[in-house]
Structure 1
Amino acid sequence: MSRVTRHGWSAYGLAALVILLDQISKAWVLGVLNLAERGTVPVIGPLHLTMVWNQGVSFGLLKAEHDLVRWALVAFSVGVALLLIAWARKSERLTSAAGLGLVIGGAVGNAIDRARFGAVADFIDVQRLGFFPWVFNVADAAITIGVVLLLLDSMRRERPA
Structure 2
Amino acid sequence: MKGYTKPVILIILVLLIDQISKIWVKLNMTIGQSYEVIGKFVQIHFIENNGMAYGMEFGGEFGKLMLTLFRIIAVGAIGYGLHYMVKKKYNRGFILNIALIFAGALGNIIDSTFYGMIFSESTWYDKASLFPADGGYATIFHGKVVDMLYFPLINGTFPSWLPIWGGQEFLFFRPVFNIADSAISVGVVLILLFQKKYFKEEKEEKTSIHSEIVED
Answer yes or no: same fold by TM over 0.5.
yes
How far did 1:38 drift? Answer: 6.3
Higher relative contact order, chain-length normalized (CA < 8 Å, sep 6+): 1
Does structure 1 residue 55 correspond to structure 2 residue 96?
no
Q: What is the root-mean-square deviation of aligned Cα atoms in Å?
A: 2.0
Q: Measured at CA, do residues 128 and 153 of structure 1 come closer, stay the same or move farther in structure 2, by a change above 3 Å? A: closer
The residue number in structure 2 matching 1:76 is 70
1:108 is aligned to 106
Q: In structure 1, which of residues 5, 14, 19 is the aligned counterpart of residue 10 of structure 2? A: 14
* Mapped contact 1:50–1:125 kept (Cα < 8 A): yes
**Structure ranking higher in helix proportion:** 1
Q: State the one-letter code of the partner of 2:46.
A: M
Give CA deviations for 1:46-73 in whole Å, capped at 9, x if unaligned.
111111111121223333531x322222
The runs of 4+ residues in structure 1 deviating greater than 3 Å are none
What TM-score, normalized to structure 1?
A: 0.84
Aligned residue type for 1:121: V
> Given the superposition, is the C-alpha separation of residues 81 and 12 from structure 1 closer, same or farther in structure 2, using an over 3 Å criterion?
farther
Contact 1:106 1:142 in 2 (8 A): yes
Question: Aligned partner of 1:126: which letter?
Answer: F
Contact preservation (8 Å) 2:48, 2:146: yes
Match of 2:196 in 1: 155
Task: Select 1:134's aligned residue among 132, 151, 175.
Answer: 175
Q: Which structure 1 segments of 5+ residues have no match?
A: none
Among candidates 186, 200, 206, match of residue 145 of structure 1: 186
